[in-house]
Copies of this chain bind each other. A is one copy, B any other.
Amino acid sequence: MQDLDRDSVTAEALAQMADTPDPRLREIMAAATRHLHDFAREVNLQPDEWLAGIAFLTAVGQACTPFRQEFILLSDVLGLSRLVNVMHDAAGREATGTETSLLGPFFREQAPEFAAGESIAVHDTQGTEVVIFGQVTDGAGRPVADAAIDIWQTNAAGLYDLQARDATVMDMRGRFRTDAAGRYHLRTVKPVGYSIPMDGPVGRMTRLQNRHGFRPAHIHVLVAAPGYRELVTALYFADDPNIASDTVFGVSQSLVVAERLGLPDSPMPGLPAIHYDFRLSRDAAEGSGGRVGADPSRLMPAAG
């Protein structure tokens, strides 16, 4: 038995985990424990502060439901989600590939399929109608035919379908496919920037940090085609006042767009349009393990 002091307790904790059979779990938990202890030592964490942290994490966990993922939100506002996304991107994206962004907690599997030119704004049709068109290619500019393009976004009030309606209705989301030349076009209404949910523990934390809590207006995009790396990204609107201070750090310059009238090649010349080409990277062995986000219902513990 050791009389553990403020340094030796870390070594002892690591020693107790040293027989973990899975080497990656051992590595991750050892690093997590070391950094957790380093954090506590650096700030000289006091018992009442530790207890406040326990109460906060408990509240974050209790706020999670099949339709709300408060821990992903916490990861997002701390910049961790962006960091994980950047590291994943560095490993598998080709230099020519479209930059990625966060999947977020509002993606849903099996969104409805639409034909080229149709609008995903089926129930909530208010707002400025815009066209998005372009081409999906590989890194060398060769067209990718029959690629699936999932898009999802808020309505013009800043709400996703899961927030605006009961969960049985899908709206403001859908899947399109590229034609033989890799081309796509679709209609939607312009999304607006929105606040992260402020009625939970993470929202309360950001208020205590004097943060505005807003994401700039954006449209999520997921492009998938056999043989190519799944592209999880988003298009951000240049005219949003918070374009430079996204509270979840999702924006990259190359993903910023602006709708314009009279764009050459627009398939619907009467409407404001965005021309955006997506460039895919070749598939590595990683499969679909690259989504920084998930359907919240998949992250709830099994009952009992």
A interface residue numbers (CB < 8 A to B): 1-6, 9-10, 12-13, 16-17, 19-22, 24-29, 31-33, 35-51, 54-55, 57-64, 69, 71-72, 75, 78-88, 90-91, 201, 205, 208-211, 243-245, 247, 249, 251-254, 256, 289-292, 294, 299-301
- The residue that A209 contacts in the complex, of B12, B29, B90, with Cβ under 8 A, is B29
Residue of B at shortest CB range from A256? B1
What CA separation (Å) do A136 and B190 show in the bound complex?
A: 72
What CA separation (Å) do A47 and B209 show in the bound complex?
A: 27
**CB-based contact B27/A43 at 8 Å:** yes
How far is the CB of A51 from the nearest CB of chain B, in Å?
6
How far is the CB of A94 from the nearest CB of chain B, in Å?
17
Given contacts A12-B249, A210-B19, contact A39 B32 (CB under 8 A): yes
Determine the chain B residues whose CB is within 8 A of the CB of A256 once the complex forms.
Answer: 1
**CB-based contact A13/B301 at 8 Å:** no
What is the oligomeric copy number? 2
Determine the chain B residues whose CB is within 8 A of the CB of A81 once the complex forms.
Answer: 50
- Ranked nearest first, the 6 interchain pairs of A and B with the lowest CB-CB distance are A61-B61, A13-B79, A48-B289, A59-B301, A35-B39, A1-B244
**CB-based contact B71/A57 at 8 Å:** yes
**CB-based contact A87/B40 at 8 Å:** yes
**CB-based contact B59/A75 at 8 Å:** no
What CA separation (Å) do A108 and B268 show in the bound complex?
A: 69
**CB-based contact A299/B210 at 8 Å:** no
Given contacts A57-B61, A209-B17, A299-B54, contact A79 B10 (CB under 8 A): yes
- The residue that A22 contacts in the complex, of B43, B208, B245, B253, with Cβ under 8 A, is B208
